[in-house]
Amino acid sequence: MILVTGGAGFIGSNFVLDWLADAATGHEPVVNLDALTYAGNLRNLATLAGDACHTFVHGDITDRALVDRLLAEHRPRAIVHFAAESHVDRSIHGPGEFIRTNVQGTFTLLEAARAHWAGLPAPEREAFRFLHVSTDEVYGSLGPDAPAFTEDHPYEPNSPYSASKAASDHLVRAWHHTYGLPVLTTNCSNNYGPYHFPEKLIPLMIVNALAGKPLPVYGDGRQIRDWLYVKDHCSGIRAVLARGRVGQTYNIGGWNEQANIDIVHRVCALLDELKPDAAGPYARHITHVADRPGHDRRYAIDARKIERELGWRPAETFDTGIRKTVQWYLDNGDWVSEVQSGAYKAWIGIQYGPSAAPSADASGRRPSCR
Ligand code: NAD
Ligand code: TYD
């Protein structure tokens, strides 16, 4: 089995759903440790209710005793670490929680993983992996004509969020070099897709447009991001976990650089097509607002290493991925309403009471969940 942290968040929940749906991995149970901050939503995992392959644990990655207990009890062959504070704007207003979860939390997991790994019998020790999910934002901002970030690009984080992620990447690297912990790190570009919390650019624009609210574009809107459909990120992580070289970092990206203002116009055009507003085009709601302090101008990912070594490439183009995403938000108005009203927090009690995990047999091995 694998231990996933942050598996009730945007990318983590997509990862857990895809893992359990994939023929190659679906038989392998997931223990999902998540503190259910504002960004954690068990509604994302509603289709897994009663699934013996999924054990949800409501807890914090900074809780060393809890992490130790989970590792001892479940003996995961890998930890896939998503849990983080992830929103740049929140990090500007309140950086403390970013240091606590992203730095202290990663440190706690590394220390627990190291103790657990050191005590494993040789074959399990050999197979164990700690996969750290990180971001391209650790590399800083690119000039307009600079080549895209490779894995060797210097770390130049500019926001409290990216600095906290950079710190966690450095810890992961050091735990490999100093202690030999078998780590893998992925640095991915901006994701979009189902279950994306509507504080981030793409879901915020969809939700606000449908509600007839302003579409707030920071500054001139010419800042550039590389956008990747979330399920492609998840397949990239699965490839790195399965075949990545221990101690290596892999950039994951969509080969899809776009300016924010173009993204917003694309979202509006899709809404015009899929859910026309009789009052006029959705783009009439676009409003330029004050820029984000320290706003990085351009991110771009060179994803050739993961393609060369592991044969991974994104399956979706931006056209196919953004269409699926807009359609998902149109089809899942209940999810959006529950997030906006805060009602999704009630899922903690409704959905996951006592653990549905299968117990270990006399040999200590857990029965297959499928
Ligand atoms: P998210 O904010 O949607 O979800 C984070 C999850 O972590 C939530 O479920 C939250 O409850 C949980 N969490 C937060 N603090 C915790 C703690 N102390 N203990 C346990 N759980 C805690 O984030 P996301 O967008 O899904 O990002 C997941 C990971 O991927 C992060 O590490 C992020 O840095 C990285 N990443 C994100 C993007 C992106 O575009 N969203 C791109 C590249 C990398
Ligand atoms: P975001 O989704 O917050 O991701 P990140 O800051 O991690 O890249 O923002 C993506 C881009 O969109 C970023 O350049 C900031 C910009 N943006 C806006 O212009 N308006 C908004 O309301 C938001 C949330 C973001």
Domain spans, the chain = 2-191+229-255+295-315+342-351
User: Whose C-alpha lies nearest to ligand 2, atom 9?
Assistant: 201
pLDDT at residue 364 in the model: 39
Mean pLDDT of 97-118: 98
Question: Angle at the Cα of 301 (from 296 to 307), degrees rounded to 5?
Answer: 165
pLDDT exceeds cutoff 80 at 352: no
Integer CA distances (angstroms), 216 to 195, 261, 296, 299, in order: 21, 10, 17, 20
The position carrying tokens 């440790």 is 33
Find the 190 Cα to ligand 2 centroid distance in Å.
Answer: 9
Mean pLDDT of 232-258: 98
pLDDT exceeds cutoff 90 at 350: no
Find the 117 Cα to ligand 1 centroid distance in Å.
Answer: 24
Active-site residue set: 136-137, 161
Mean pLDDT of 145-173: 98
Give residue 230's pLDDT band: very low, low, confident or very high (50, 70, 90).
very high
Ligand closest to Cα of 192 equals 1
pLDDT exceeds cutoff 50 at 16: yes
pLDDT exceeds cutoff 80 at 355: no
Integer-rounded Cα radius of gyration of the chain = 20
Find the 117 Cα to ligand 2 centroid distance in Å.
Answer: 38
Pocket of ligand 2 contains residue 298 by CB under 6 Å? no
Mean pLDDT of the chain: 94
Find the 282 Cα to ligand 1 centroid distance in Å.
Answer: 30
- Axis crossing angle, helix 318-331 with helix 260-274, rounded to the nearest 10: 50
Mean pLDDT of 30-56: 96
User: Whose C-alpha lies nearest to ligand 1, atom 1?
Assistant: 9
Ligand closest to Cα of 99 equals 1
pLDDT at residue 351 in the model: 58
For 103, the token pair is: 């730095």
pLDDT exceeds cutoff 60 at 359: no
Read off the pLDDT of residues 283-340 as tens digits, 9 standing for 90 and up.
999 999 999 999 999 999 999 999 999 999 999 999 999 999 999 999 999 999 999 9
Residue 17 backbone phi and psi in degrees, to 5: -60, -45
Pocket of ligand 2 contains residue 190 by CB under 6 Å? yes
Give residue 349's pLDDT band: very low, low, confident or very high (50, 70, 90).
low
Residue whose CB lies within 8 A of the most ligand 2 atoms, among 201, 226, 263, for a mutation test: 201
pLDDT at residue 162 in the model: 98
CATH fold of 2-191+229-255+295-315+342-351 reads Rossmann fold (3.40.50)
Read off the pLDDT of residues 64-73 as tens digits, 9 standing for 90 and up.
999 999 999 9
Q: Which atom of ligand 2 is nearest to 137's Cα?
A: 7
Residue whose CB lies within 8 A of the most ligand 1 atoms, among 4, 11, 201, for a mutation test: 11
Mean pLDDT of 160-177: 99
Give residue 345's pLDDT band: very low, low, confident or very high (50, 70, 90).
confident
What gap in Å lies between CA 41 and CA 14, rounded to an integer? 12
Q: Which atom of ligand 2 is nearest to 135's Cα?
A: 7
Identify any residues that bridge with 190 across adjacent strands, giving them in sequence order: 227
- Give percent of the chain with pLDDT exceeding 70: 94
Mean pLDDT of 169-189: 98
Q: Which atom of ligand 2 is nearest to 221's Cα?
A: 19
pLDDT at residue 346 in the model: 76
The position carrying tokens 């998840």 is 234
